[in-house]
Amino acid sequence: MTLDDLLDRNRQWADARRARDPEFFSRLARGQRPRLLWIGCSDSRVPAEEILGCGPGDLFVHRNVANIVAYNDINIASVVQYATVNLGIADIVVCGHYGCGGIRAACAETLPDGYLGDWLNIAGWAKRTVDQALAREGRSVAGEEYHQRVVEENVRLQIEHLSHLGLIRRQRAERPDSLRLHGWVYDISTGLVKIVAPGDT
């Protein structure tokens, strides 16, 4: 597929959208009121709008490798601020996914070189939490089951990071129950979302 093919598709998409709903683009041009903030993985197989049956204007989206919320990430902090303060969004979803290459790399003996290794080191805490839990349970889990446990734990860990951000703590102190943080995991092999942390976290 060439870039010209993609631009052709864009024109066809815009024409089809306008044919179905002549006011669609002029309505969106007036502003946005997205339903939730989506913090997901950059993986091409997890397109937030598509898997939730949404379209333009429905979701405010931030994606990075392995859906990580880092304390010192001014990028995600500004996204969270704009979503919650300016757009008044009350629901934030951190959505991981099974088969996540970032989580696999974070669990490997050696982290990748360069920025990727530095970044994925943050998700390494999820691996350590899983390892400690398995040691307590006296169990040994490997392969896909182990990977899935770390994916789920990483989502819980990033929700914890989110809840510790000064911006979130201040808003919750000023307006209790004003923000709900949800942990989801998307299964690429079924197309379905599983809840791993309910919205009252």
Per CB under 5 A, residues contacting Zn ion are: 41, 43, 100, 102
Helices (H), the chain: 3-20, 24-29, 48-51, 74-81, 101-107, 114-120, 124-137, 143-164, 166-174
CB 36 within 8 A of CB 92: yes
41 is catalytic: yes
We find the least distance from the C-beta atom of residue 28 to Zn ion, in angstroms, to be: 29
Q: Which is nearer to Zn ion, 123 or 168 (CB)?
A: 123
Q: Which is nearer to Zn ion, 34 or 102 (CB)?
A: 102
We find the least distance from the C-beta atom of residue 67 to Zn ion, in angstroms, to be: 7
Q: Where are the beta strands (DSSP E) in the chain?
A: 36-41, 59-64, 91-97, 180-187, 192-197
Q: Name the pairing type of β-strands 192-197 and 59-64.
A: unpaired
Q: Cα 136 vs. chain centroid, distance in angstroms?
A: 29
43 is catalytic: yes
We find the least distance from the C-beta atom of residue 164 to Zn ion, in angstroms, to be: 23
97 is catalytic: yes
List the catalytic residue out of 62, 73, 97, 147: 97
Task: Round to whole Å and give the CA distance between 169 and 194.
Answer: 26
100 is catalytic: yes
Task: Round to whole Å and give the CA distance between 129 and 201.
Answer: 18
Task: Round to whole Å and give the CA distance between 65 and 75.
Answer: 13
We find the least distance from the C-beta atom of residue 158 to Zn ion, in angstroms, to be: 12
List the catalytic residue out of 9, 18, 27, 45: 45
95 is catalytic: no
Active-site positions read 41, 43, 45, 97, 100
